[in-house]
Chains A and B, each alone.
Chain A
């Protein structure tokens, strides 16, 4: 299989605080992981590509200082939402490939972030 684990599944935080979301590939190594965001009844929007040992690549319109990505090992990437505001409330999902360069992405079960 190809199992991706994401934690936490739900988090509620106060405006102005930071939240860290972890994404792990459990049975394979991933030099690249992808972070998506999904609004209700909308598609998955790619936020950034996380590269092991180097800087993440952010999509246009995504603030890299707000959404900090760290990919410190071949099985772990983290997304930190800094100084969160209510408009950051969303469903964040990470994903990874078993095969570099091509093939399907395998997704975690997502993190529902609510900023009050």
Chain B
């Protein structure tokens, strides 16, 4: 069974304190791994797609990396506006569905 596990569940950081969020996955043939940001009461906002081990993507203070078993979302010098829930999701080669992890609730303190 395909599975996505994110850790930690919640993370509080001081502004400027860099850290990483983890996404471990089990899938029979990875078609793609996705990172999303979700603000309270809103739909998820797409951040990155990663397709193969060794791939990296960057956007402002965020950088996503991928290995054969896990992905990391690195946050460098975060600001309070980076506070949100970050969701990881995977798509298997065999179908259209995307399966989500439970997310990491990130809170950046000013």
A: residues with CB less than 8 A from B are 2, 4, 6, 32, 34, 41-44, 46, 49, 91, 93, 95, 101-110, 112
Which one of B31, B32, B98, B101 contacts A34 once the chains associate, using CB atoms below 8 Å?
B98
CA distance A55 to B108 in the complex (A): 44
Chain A residues in 8 Å Cβ range of B43:
4, 6, 93, 95, 107-110
8 Å CB contacts to A: which residues of B1-36?
Answer: 31-32, 34, 36
Chain B residues in 8 Å Cβ range of A49:
96-97
B103 and A43 contacting across the interface, CB-CB below 8 Å: yes
CA distance A44 to B46 in the complex (A): 14
Task: Count A-B pairs with CB separation below 8 Å.
Answer: 53
CA distance A99 to B65 in the complex (A): 23
CA distance A104 to B31 in the complex (A): 11
Quote the shortest CB–CB distance from B68 to chain A (angstroms).
Answer: 19
Kindly name the residue among A4, A109, A112 whose own CB sees the greatest number of chain B CB atoms within 10 A: A109
Chain A residues in 8 Å Cβ range of B96:
32, 34, 49, 101
Which one of A46, A106, A110 contacts B97 once the chains associate, using CB atoms below 8 Å?
A46
B87 and A104 contacting across the interface, CB-CB below 8 Å: no
Which one of B31, B42, B100 contacts A43 once the chains associate, using CB atoms below 8 Å?
B100
